[in-house]
Homo-oligomer: A and B are copies of this chain.
Amino acid sequence: MAEGRRPRAATEEKRKRILDATEEIMLKDGYAAVSSRSVAAAVGIGAPLVHYYFPTIDELFVAVLRRRAGRNVERMAEALMSAEPLRAWWEQASDPRGTAMFVELLAAANHRPALKAEVGGIARDVRRMQLDALGELLGEYGIDPEQLPPPLVAAAIQGLAFSVVQDQAAGYDTAADEAIAAMDRLVGRLEARRQLRSDRGARGA
């Protein structure tokens, strides 16, 4: 069973550079601009070498997604358990770079079945995590789960982030700045309210 004999030293670092270059291209020119040749040129290697590390372009996309998602899932888990879960969530969701990447991957997934399956799994896991957390948190924020149930709140935060980040990145004049400022204030008020309730609870008990 001990078959893998010798992996070389520079190889892992080359995988990383290929993935980095792929992300760069996706952000600058869109997922459609990703090709074995464009990636190879960015890294400074030949096109076939890209296929040596990632046999098909699909696998390259999947690898990019897995690396990103791995970090993001961790960070989302930390955010949801932090002292100010909503603020941490919103900060992560409204990160321009991460959101832009996710939008590209989402778009690419729409006509790449292998990637689509991977995205679907991650989306489900992340959402489940968020829904579980919101089940506890909504009450603490003083939000009525009957009126604003977890699935709606989670989708709204995600969607709002998509919308404002996209408009801001593209430079569309849709008052995205004001929306972000208002959301920051709203998050601040909700965190303050939660803090207040927790203080009262601690003293009352």
Contacts and interface: CB of A to CB of B under 8 A. Distances in A.
Interface of A: 29-30, 32-33, 103-104, 106-107, 109-111, 116, 119-120, 123-124, 127, 131, 147-152, 154-156, 158-164, 166-167, 170-176, 178-179, 182-183, 185-186, 189
For the complex formed by this chain, how many copies does it contain in all? 2
Contacts of A161: 159
Contact of A162 (B109, B120, B163, B170): B163
19 contacts: A29-B111, A30-B107, A104-B107, A120-B170, A124-B172, A127-B175, A131-B175, A150-B175, A151-B176, A151-B179, A152-B160, A152-B178, A152-B182, A155-B167, A156-B179, A159-B160, A159-B161, A160-B160, A162-B162
A149 B120 contact: no
A164 B172 contact: no
A123 B174 contact: yes
Contacts of A111: 29-30, 32-33
B172 A120 contact: yes
Contacts of A182: 148-149, 151-152
B186 A147 contact: yes
A185 to B, nearest CB: 8
B170 A155 contact: no
A148 B171 CA distance: 23
Closest 7 CB pairs of A and B: A159-B159, A159-B163, A151-B175, A151-B178, A152-B182, A127-B174, A155-B179
A147 B189 contact: yes
A91 to B, nearest CB: 16
Nearest to A167: B123
A76 to B, nearest CB: 14
